[in-house]
Amino acid sequence: AQSVTQLGSHVSVSEGALVLLRCNYSSSVPPYLFWYVQYPNQGLQLLLKYTSAATLVKGINGFEAEFKKSETSFHLTKPSAHMSDAAEYFCAVSDPRVPGGYNKLIFGAGTRLAVHP
């Protein structure tokens, strides 16, 4: 069965510093991968997705993620953190082999990002 692990439930960075949020998946074949962001008391917003095209994926708000099959990872990065990036981030996977194509997303537990001045 597929699973997603987000290392670090809380990450704290200084404004202007590199943001690195880790996501590892467990699957026998490369899955489809997604990163979402959630601000307090709101729904999830799609940041970016990997669906077997380019391994380096650029998303909204300056975020990007790189799919590394050998490491079964899809880490999210941003070169320079902004105060507005403070939120909770979720990595999710879906299985491309599911018959009938039902899009069941498996979510990680989330990483809360704090940005301090």
Position 8 contacts other proteins (CB under 8 A): no
CA torsion 13-91-41-84 (nearest 10°) is 30
Interface residue with other proteins among 28, 70, 84, 103 (CB under 8 A) is: 103
- Catalogue the E-assigned strands of 27-107: 32-38, 44-50, 56-58, 64-68, 73-78, 87-94, 106-107
Position 117 contacts other proteins (CB under 8 A): no
Q: Which residues, listed in sequence order, are joined to residue 45 by a DSSP beta bridge? A: 37
Shortest reach from residue 80's CB to other proteins, in Å? 26
Determine whether 4 is exposed, middle or buried from the number of CB atoms within 10 Å of its CB (0-12, 13-18, 19+): buried
Interface residue with other proteins among 45, 55, 61, 80 (CB under 8 A) is: 45
Position 95 contacts other proteins (CB under 8 A): yes
By beta-carbon proximity to other proteins, the closer residue of 17 and 44 is: 44
Question: Nearest CA to 87 among 3, 21, 32?
Answer: 21
Position 10 contacts other proteins (CB under 8 A): no
Residues forming the site for other proteins (CB under 8 A)? 9, 32, 34, 36, 41-46, 49, 51-52, 90, 94-96, 98, 100-105, 107-110
